[in-house]
Chain A
Amino acid sequence: ETGVTQTPRHLVMGMTNKKSLKCEQHLGHNAMYWYKQSAKKPLELMFVYSLEERVENNSVPSRFSPECPNSSHLFLHLHTLQPEDSALYLCASSQPGASSRYAFFGQGTRLTVV
């Protein structure tokens, strides 16, 4: 248990569905991140939020829409996804100003688009 909780753990959705992934951290961190892990590829940074403001959008298609309502919660809203979007989606948090800058990851949501 790293202090970062993701729900659901598994999700199967059709290409016309709308769903949301949720991430919650109670570590007092003020930065949260979404990463994507596809088969045979390195983890890719998708979005960075610092103090609830998006500071980086790593060329992610608009069918992925992040939301950070407060410093403890991060969502990833999904709509009209493609089969190639099937992957493990990982949420992380960190305290950027801290000297260590450790990143803590959740257990991920395994997404399958059918």
Chain B
Amino acid sequence: KQEVTQIPAALSVPEGENLVLNCSFTDSAIYNLQWFRQDPGKGLTSLLLIQSSQREQTSGRLNASLDKSSGRSTLYIAASQPGDSATYLCAVCQGTGGGNKLTFGTGTQLKVEL
């Protein structure tokens, strides 16, 4: 059974700092890994998707890496801003019947302070 772990559970940093969020998973037979952002009481916004054959994806100040063989991914946020405050979720995608299923970690709650 796939298990996804995210470290740290919570993080508080001053504005402008660079930071790294970590995600690990137990079963490397995945299609892709996605990083999501969730604001309080809201749905999920997809940030980055890394295919199983890729090592890295970048979008603006965000950079995600994937090491499938070791079951690890990192999300790097450069020059953090108060608007980045949210919960960040990592999810791995595997097949099921004719659909896909995502297995999520419990998230990292990020607070960026002025």
Residues of A within 8 A of B (CB): 2, 4, 6, 31, 33, 35, 40-43, 45, 48-51, 53, 55-56, 88, 90, 92, 94, 96, 99-108, 110
Question: Interface residues of B toward A: which range?
Answer: 20 to 34
Whether A96 pairs with B99 at a CB distance below 8 angstroms is yes
Whether B44 pairs with A105 at a CB distance below 8 angstroms is yes
Interface residues of B in 57-114 (CB under 8 A from A): 89, 91, 93, 95-107
Whether B101 pairs with A43 at a CB distance below 8 angstroms is no
Q: How far is the CA of A41 from the CA of B98 in the complex (A)?
A: 27
24 A-B pairs whose Cβ atoms sit less than 8 Å apart in the complex = A2-B43, A2-B45, A6-B43, A33-B102, A35-B102, A41-B106, A42-B103, A42-B106, A45-B103, A48-B99, A48-B101, A50-B97, A51-B98, A53-B98, A55-B97, A56-B99, A92-B102, A96-B95, A100-B49, A101-B100, A105-B36, A107-B43, A108-B41, A108-B42
Which of the residues A33, A50, A102, A108 comes within 8 Å of B46, measured between beta carbons? A102
Q: Which residues of A contact B45 (CB under 8 A)?
A: 2, 105
In the complex, how many angstroms separate the beta carbon of A98 from the nearest chain B beta carbon?
10
Q: How far is the CA of A85 from the CA of B103 in the complex (A)?
A: 20
A4 to chain B: closest residue by CB: B43
List the 6 closest A-B pairs by CB distance, nearest first. A55-B97, A50-B98, A31-B99, A107-B43, A105-B44, A50-B99
In the complex, how many angstroms separate the beta carbon of A109 from the nearest chain B beta carbon?
10
Whether B104 pairs with A55 at a CB distance below 8 angstroms is no
Q: How far is the CA of A90 from the CA of B102 in the complex (A)?
A: 13
In the complex, how many angstroms separate the beta carbon of A64 from the nearest chain B beta carbon?
17
Q: Which residues of A contact B99 (CB under 8 A)?
A: 31, 33, 48-50, 55-56, 94, 96
In the complex, how many angstroms separate the beta carbon of A15 from the nearest chain B beta carbon?
23
B95 to chain A: closest residue by CB: A96
